[in-house]
Amino acid sequence: MSETTFTHGTWLSADGLSLSYRDYPGNTDRPPILCIPGLTRNARDFEPVADNFAGEWRVICPDLRGRGLSDYAKDPGSYMPETYVDDIEALLQQLGLEKVVVIGTSLGGIVTMMLAARNPEPLAGVVLNDIGPVIEASGLERISEYVGQGRTFPTWMHAARGLKEISGAAHPDFELSDWLTLTKRLMCLSGNGRITFDYDMKIAETFATPPDSPQIDLWQAYRALSGRPVLALRGELSDLLSETTLARMAREIPGAEIVTVPRVGHTPTLAEPAAQEAIARLLARTLQSAPATS
């Protein structure tokens, strides 16, 4: 568990949910880092980012609706990227943030691209963690096999072994201590004393059967990130982001940095040296292109 100091804050969604975020203090002469988590993840997922960059940078880590300390949605149909974009825009407005550096993991990266498609101006720099405009069917199929299953475990050790069963291929070099660390980010102690995943199991409903709606052109959304520092990270063993898509991402935004994180699948934890060094370079580029913020 991270020991980096933070405060908890809340903001209100348009449909009346109380949503939670962690706020790690940092320098006010630069845009904060806003970390948007993946489908079944929460604010704790970005402890490696906060441990490495908070203090120099303010780091804000929201729990999306239905995750962590945020309210579960009254309507499970609102567990959709468009709604998450609405929620993040409401957070930026409440905090009065004109510029942010966004780190989006998986679903969080989709939300980031969609934010840019609506209005790229607030984005001072962007990190997309193991996600791109094309999402591989094999990765989606794997995720659909475990999301919303509602498994519980009697102890943290049992939970860590259960998580290894699900995600072992993505982290072949993890020791048991690493699995315990990751488990405590993804799971929580439930009211009945069992360990369970820290999200509303109903998010699986919209993941499995998305409603009829115009398809979002994610390539167009990705191109909306042009004109600012962009970093695309891919786990070498990823089944969600292909090397082919990553190569096209480099072509679509000249100057985007493309980094493959060795010996990891979906998703890098951002504690890996290759990931942390790449994020540090992205942040330095952000300061060069926009040295100060109001």
90-102 burial, b at 16+ Cβ within 10 Å, e below that, comes to: ebbeebebebbbb
Is 262 in contact with 121 (CB distance < 8 Å)?
Answer: no
pLDDT the model gives residue 148: 82
150-194 pLDDT tens trace: 899 999 999 999 999 999 999 999 999 999 999 999 999 998 999
Residues of the chain where predicted confidence (pLDDT) is lower than 70? 1-2, 208-215, 290-294
Structural domains of the chain sorted by starting position, each given as residue range(s) with its CATH number in brackets: 7-145+215-289 (3.40.50.1820), 150-200 (no CATH)
Q: Identify the three-state secondary structure at position 57.
A: strand
pLDDT the model gives residue 290: 64
Q: Where are the alpha helices (DSSP H) in 154-272?
A: 156-167, 176-186, 203-208, 218-223, 243-252
Return the C-alpha torsion angle 97, 102, 106, 108, nearest 10: 0
Proportion of the chain above pLDDT 90, given as a percent: 87
**Measured CA distances, 249 to 30, 134, 220, 226 (Å):** 27, 10, 11, 11
41-75 burial, b at 16+ Cβ within 10 Å, e below that, comes to: bbbbbbbbbbbbbbeebbbbbbbbbbbbbbbebee
38-68 pLDDT tens trace: 999 999 999 999 999 999 999 999 999 999 9
pLDDT the model gives residue 294: 35
Mean pLDDT of the chain: 94
pLDDT the model gives residue 67: 98
When computed from its CA atoms, the radius of gyration of the chain, rounded to whole angstroms, is 18
**Measured CA distances, 37 to 2, 131, 213 (Å):** 17, 12, 24
**Measured CA distances, 142 to 15, 27, 114, 232, 233 (Å):** 32, 40, 24, 22, 20
Q: Where are the alpha helices (DSSP H) in 96-202?
A: 107-118, 137-146, 156-167, 176-186
pLDDT the model gives residue 289: 83
116-146 burial, b at 16+ Cβ within 10 Å, e below that, comes to: bbeebebbbbbbbbbbbbbbbeebeebbeeb
Whether cis (ω within 30° of 0) applies to the bond prior to 267 is yes
pLDDT the model gives residue 277: 98
Model-level pTM?
A: 0.95
